[in-house]
C-alpha cells in the first residue's frame, strides 16, 4: 500500500511539474498555455508588456490566445476565428486613462472605419472602470457575434460585429500598436 501511495505522489508531482512548465510568465504574471472558449480550446500565442510614456511605465501584461499559433499579425486579424486577449494590470489605472488609451488605439488603427464604429466604441468604453494592480480585462472574439468583454472577472456585455473585433484586436496587432515590444510579444516574441 505504501508503494502505491508513493507512486501516486510521484505521478502527481510529475503532472504538476508538467503543467507548470506549460504556463508562461512575464513580469511575475503567469498565464495558462490554453483556455476554453465555448467549444474551442485556444492556445497561448504570446505575452507582451504594455509600457506607457517616455518613462516606459509598465501598465499590463497581455496574453493572446488563438486556435493555432501564428506570428502573422495580418493573418490573425483577417481570420474570422475565435481569439482572446487578456490584459493583467501590473499597476492601478484610472477609468479616464483607460478611456484615453482606447481613443488613441481606435484612432490609430480603425482607419476609415472609425466613424461607423463610434457608437460601438462608446458602448465598449462605457463598460470600463478603474482597475487596480492584479485586475484583468478579457476580450473574447466570437465569430458572427462580436466581442464579449469581462472586467475584473465579471461579464460586462458584448459588442456586436466582426468588424469591431478586427479593429479592436488591431489596437495591439495593427500597424500602430501602443508599443512595438507589446505586439512582438503577443506574436510569440520575448515579453519585454
Q: Flag whether 128 is in a domain.
A: yes
15 — pLDDT class (breaks 50, 70, 90): very low
Q: Is the pLDDT of residue 11 over 90?
A: no
CA angle, corner 145, sides to 88 and 183, nearest 5? 35
3-7, 78-82, 87-91: segment of lowest average pLDDT = 3-7
- What CATH number is given to the structural domain containing 147? 3.50.70.10
Q: Is the pLDDT of residue 9 over 90?
A: no
| Number of domains the chain contains | 1
3-17, 73-87, 89-103: segment of lowest average pLDDT = 3-17
Nearest of 60, 64, 37, 89 to residue 173 by alpha carbon = 64
Q: Which residues pair with 50 in a beta bridge?
A: 60
pLDDT for the residue 37: 85
Question: For residue range 110-167, what is the model confidence (pLDDT) as tens digits?
Answer: 999 999 999 999 999 999 999 999 999 999 999 999 999 999 999 999 999 999 999 9
Residues 6+ apart with CB under 8 A from 162: 80, 141, 143, 144, 146
Residues 6+ apart with CB under 8 A from 170: 77, 109, 110
What is the pTM (predicted TM-score) of this model?
0.87
Pairing of strands 24-26, 136-142: unpaired
14 — pLDDT class (breaks 50, 70, 90): very low
192 — pLDDT class (breaks 50, 70, 90): confident
Q: Flag whether 13 is in a domain.
A: no
Q: Flag whether 19 is in a domain.
A: no
Q: Flag whether 176 is in a domain.
A: yes
Q: Is the pLDDT of residue 21 over 60?
A: no
Q: Flag whether 4 is in a domain.
A: no
Q: Flag whether 44 is in a domain.
A: yes
Q: Flag whether 191 is in a domain.
A: no
Q: Flag whether 18 is in a domain.
A: no
Question: For residue range 26-71, what is the model confidence (pLDDT) as tens digits?
Answer: 999 999 999 998 778 999 999 999 999 888 999 999 999 999 999 9
Collapsed DSSP state (helix, strand, coil) of residue 29: strand
| Boundaries of domain holding 83 | 26-186
Nearest of 157, 152, 158, 178 to residue 57 by alpha carbon = 178
Amino acid at each position: 500500500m505504501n508503494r502505491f501511495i508513493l507512486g501516486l505522489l510521484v505521478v502527481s508531482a510529475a503532472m504538476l511539474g508538467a503543467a507548470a512548465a506549460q504556463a508562461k510568465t512575464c513580469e511575475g504574471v503567469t498565464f495558462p498555455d490554453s483556455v476554453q472558449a465555448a467549444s474551442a480550446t485556444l492556445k497561448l500565442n504570446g505575452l507582451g508588456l504594455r509600457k506607457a510614456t517616455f518613462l516606459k511605465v509598465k501598465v499590463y501584461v497581455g496574453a493572446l490566445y488563438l486556435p493555432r499559433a501564428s506570428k502573422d499579425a495580418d493573418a490573425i486579424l483577417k481570420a474570422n476565428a475565435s481569439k482572446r486577449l487578456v490584459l493583467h494590470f501590473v499597476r492601478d489605472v484610472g477609468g479616464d486613462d483607460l478611456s484615453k488609451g482606447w481613443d488613441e488605439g481606435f484612432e490609430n488603427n480603425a482607419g476609415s472605419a472609425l466613424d461607423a464604429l463610434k457608437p460601438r466604441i462608446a458602448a465598449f468604453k462605457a463598460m470600463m472602470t478603474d482597475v487596480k494592480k492584479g485586475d484583468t480585462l478579457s476580450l473574447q472574439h466570437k465569430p458572427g457575434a462580436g466581442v464579449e468583454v469581462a472586467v475584473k472577472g465579471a461579464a460586462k456585455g458584448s459588442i456586436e460585429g466582426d468588424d469591431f473585433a478586427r479593429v479592436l484586436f488591431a489596437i495591439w496587432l495593427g500597424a500602430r500598436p501602443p508599443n512595438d515590444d507589446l505586439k512582438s510579444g503577443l506574436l510569440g516574441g520575448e515579453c519585454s
